[in-house]
Amino acid sequence: MVSTKPRDGAGIHADTAAEAAQSRLPTTATSGATAIAGRLQQAILDGNYAYGERLPAERDLAEHFGASRSTVREALKRLEEMRLLTRRIGSGTFVSHRQALDGSSIAEVTSPLELIEVRFAVEPQIARLAAINATARDLATMGQVLEQVEAAGGDRESFSLADERFHQSLVECTHNPLMVWLYQQINEVRAHAQWTAMKEKILTPERIIEYNRHHRQLYESLCSRDVEQAAGVIERHLDKARHDLLGASGRQD
């Protein structure tokens, strides 16, 4: 006998999700495993299925593509080997591919504190590489940028622009193109509106003076080729920035 017991909310939601996943299935001209895998691959890469979303069951895929379940199983196996899918016995097949975020998207989901954490992970090593690899011309350029950041005084906007150039000149001293590219991504996040708003609270004239003291110490460390001192200065600089950020956010260490 068919039960007349009302479906609970979870069951209705699951059915709705399954129907939505079914409606987004692509079509194929042929029903072979290669064709099915190719069409599903494109659908996943195009973002038709989100990370963690469950695909329709094998029997539903087989019916949709007009193929046997063994053919569908082979197609899913290929996608699993490509790390686009994860198959869980008793639960189903789930998308394991994450869509890459562009610069504007990652800036939207990265908090100022998370930005500082990433800088902590990257910049001490940048300072070490800069101390080792910087040329005389690099140091001359960095010295000019240092004069600009020091000349900004208490002007937040002028300081912020010069500070960005100073740290960019630091990473260019590494002569590591991947590191330069990586730091460009960090700078894109630093330019986001939420970070700009936070700087209004953080960049007092007194703090700008202290930050510039760190900048000068870092530059002198590079000129003397003191690798660990350069890394230590950056760590103190970022620790101060983190402390000021937490204070501006009303959080406690």
Question: What CATH number is given to the structural domain containing 107?
Answer: 1.20.120.530
In a domain, 48, yes or no: yes
In a domain, 38, yes or no: yes
143 and 231 in a single domain? The answer is: yes
Under the banding of pLDDT at 50, 70 and 90, the label for residue 190 is confident
More confident: 33 or 129:
129
In a domain, 165, yes or no: yes
Inter-residue contact 193 to 101 (CB < 8 Å): no
How many other CB atoms are there within 10 angstroms of residue 187's CB atom?
A: 14
In a domain, 1, yes or no: no
**Residue at a domain's end among 53, 73, 95:** 95
What is the per-residue pLDDT for 100?
A: 60
**Residue at a domain's end among 52, 77, 95:** 95
244 and 158 in a single domain? The answer is: yes
What would the two tokens of residue 174 be? Answer: 């590494």
122 and 217 in a single domain? The answer is: yes
In a domain, 58, yes or no: yes
| 136, 140, 141, 142: CA torsion to nearest 10 | 100
- Apex CA 106: angle with CA 210 and CA 203, to 5°? 20
More confident: 197 or 58:
58
% of the chain at pLDDT higher than 70:
83
180 and 67 in a single domain? The answer is: no
117 and 53 in a single domain? The answer is: no
What is the per-residue pLDDT for 3?
A: 44
How many other CB atoms are there within 10 angstroms of residue 42's CB atom?
A: 11
Residue 21, pLDDT > 70, answer no
118 and 72 in a single domain? The answer is: no
Shortest CA distance to 196 belongs to which of 147, 248, 143? Answer: 248
In a domain, 6, yes or no: no
In a domain, 24, yes or no: yes
The Cα–Cα gap between 1 and 30 comes to 40
Residues 6+ apart with CB under 8 A from 169: 138, 141, 142, 145
pTM of the predicted structure, to 2 decimals: 0.60
The Cα–Cα gap between 142 and 140 comes to 5
Residue 20, pLDDT > 70, answer no
42 and 113 in a single domain? The answer is: no
69 and 130 in a single domain? The answer is: no
Q: What is the pLDDT of residues 143-179, one digit of tens each?
A: 999 999 999 988 888 998 899 899 999 999 999 999 9
Most confident of 21-30, 91-100, 125-134: 125-134
Residue range 65-69: mean pLDDT, rounded: 92
**Residue at a domain's end among 95, 124, 139:** 95
The CATH number of whichever domain residue 36 belongs to comes to 1.10.10.10
173 and 154 in a single domain? The answer is: yes
Give the range of the structural domain holding residue 26, as residue numbers without chain letter: 11-95
Q: Which helix (H) or strand (E) holds 85?
A: strand 85-88
DSSP character string of 179-205: HHHHHHHHHHHHTSHHHHHHHHHH--H
What is the per-residue pLDDT for 6?
A: 47
223 and 146 in a single domain? The answer is: yes
35 and 113 in a single domain? The answer is: no
What is the per-residue pLDDT for 253?
A: 39
146 and 229 in a single domain? The answer is: yes
Residues 6+ apart with CB under 8 A from 3: none
Residue range 70-99: mean pLDDT, rounded: 88
Diameter over CA atoms, the chain: 86
What is the tally of structural domains in the chain?
Answer: 2
In a domain, 201, yes or no: yes
